[in-house]
A = this chain, B = another copy of it.
Amino acid sequence: MTVVLESLHRSRDAITPALRTVLDRLDEETRHQAAYHLGWIDADGAPAHGGGKAVRPALALLSAQAVGAPPETALPGAVAVELVHNFSLLHDDLMDGDEERRHRRTVWTLWGPTGAILTGDALLALAQETLLDCGLPTAAAAARLLARATSDLVRGQVQDVAFERRTHVTLEECADMAAGKTGALLSASAAIGAVLAGAPVATVDALALYGSQLGLAFQLIDDVLGIWGDPAVTGKSVHSDLRARKKSLPVTYALNQGGTAGVELASWLSAPGEPDEAELRHAAGLVAAVGGREWATAEAARRMALGEAALRTVDLDAGACDELIALGRFVVDREV
């Protein structure tokens, strides 16, 4: 775990100067909002030390090393995936009405919907510019991978929003949504360094598969934490996803099991009003009773094993491959 944290810090240190240089292309106002969103400054411009773990850039740098290239080869890709990730967070926070992210006010609450929309749009355009300006002969292939992942990411978000309005969602549809919303960009991140390094298609495909399975495993565990996670660890309120009556993967599994518990859960999810703590505990119990928690945990492990097996089918640098696997496990295996 310490090794993974060190590796994450190392890659964050590696991409931060490049990310700063790229953000310098933005107008002052957009750059300010982007820097705030990234945790670099406070709303009033004072330096801050926050921000996410930058898992996607770390995957990108490792994917170049895994095919024997220096991590610098992946730098434009690492910056680009982080930009696309933050584009999606800016728009999602607005659409979901989330007022806080990592215990800080979200951009739309400070600069209005217009700020969040335009800063997101600017980061998306900048991601493509960064890749296409990098001068590598493989830039177009990397840009294509990223454009496709962005389309899948947006489609996943469209599904997520649509599912909130629907009473029935199949487990397959729910997994497809997670594959788009969480898997697509992690998949591109785990492959983009290898694409920039000009690795063979089979190698790129194996890395992409690893990233997509990692994304699904992450989402499954995130959904388990959204119901049963310790608020002190998750930073969210207890039963937060149930409170929002979210059709997460464990809930969708439980609903599709039918039976009396499934029926009771379905009618509880469609009931109006704010549920109290006792109701939330009872609903969480229903999901667990039909095996939703157990299934999600086992499915996450299965996805991780699939992804790791894919890596072993191709010839990769052993050290970088181990780091990729350790990083993936670190991201997924949080305190459940």
Binding site for B on A (CB under 8 A): 25-27, 29-30, 87, 91, 94-95, 113-114, 117-118, 120-122, 124-126, 128-129, 132-133, 139-140, 143-144, 147-148, 150-151, 154-155, 157-159, 161-162
Inter-subunit contact B128/A158 (CB<8 Å): no
What would 14 A/B residue contacts be, using CB atoms closer than 8 Å?
A: A26-B155, A27-B155, A29-B162, A30-B154, A30-B155, A87-B121, A91-B121, A94-B113, A117-B117, A121-B150, A122-B155, A124-B125, A125-B154, A128-B150
Contact A158 B118 (CB under 8 A): yes
Kindly state the separation between the CA atoms of A30 and B162 in the bound complex, as whole angstroms. 11
B144 touches A133 (CB 8 A): yes
* Cα distance A139–B157 in the bound complex, in angstroms: 28
- Asked if B148 and A118 make an inter-chain contact with CB atoms under 8 angstroms apart, the answer reads no
Q: How far is the CA of A122 from the CA of B155 in the complex (A)?
A: 8
Task: Point out the residue from B122, B126, B150 that lies within 8 Å of A158, measured CB to CB.
Answer: B122
**Are B94 and A117 in contact (CB-based, < 8 A)?**
yes
For A88, give the chain B residue with the smallest CB separation.
B121
User: A113 to chain B: which residues have CB within 8 Å?
Assistant: 94-95, 113
The smallest C-beta distance from A79 to any residue of chain B, in angstroms, reads 14
Q: Kindly state the separation between the CA atoms of A91 and B117 in the bound complex, as whole angstroms.
A: 8
Interface centre among A139, A143, A148, A158 (most CB of B within 10 A): A158
Contact of A124 among B124, B132, B140 (CB under 8 A): B124
How many copies of this chain sit in the oligomeric assembly?
Answer: 2
Q: Which residues of the partner chain B approach A27 to less than 8 Å between Cβ atoms? A: 155, 158-159
Q: A27-B155, A95-B113, A129-B148 are in contact. List 9 more A-B contacts (CB 8 A).
A: A26-B155, A91-B121, A95-B117, A120-B121, A121-B154, A128-B150, A129-B147, A133-B144, A140-B140
Contact partner, A150, options B87, B125, B140, B155, Cβ 8 Å:
B125
Pick the contact of A95: B114, B132, B157 (CB < 8 A).
Answer: B114
A118 to B124, CA, bound (A): 13
Tell whether, in the assembled complex, residue B133 and residue A151 are in contact, meaning their CB atoms are under 8 Å apart.
no
Q: How far is the CA of A211 from the CA of B94 in the complex (A)?
A: 35
Q: Give Cα distance in the complex from A206 to B109, angstroms.
A: 44
Bound complex: CA A129 to CA B122 (Å): 17
What 3 A-B pairs come out closest when comparing CB atoms?
A140-B140, A132-B144, A128-B147
Shortest Cβ distance from A122 into B: residue: B154
User: Quick check: B158 and A129 within 8 Å, CB to CB?
Assistant: no
* Residue among A91, A124, A128, A139 with max Cβ neighbours from chain B (10 Å): A128
Known: A129-B144, A150-B125. A158 touches B30 (CB 8 A): yes
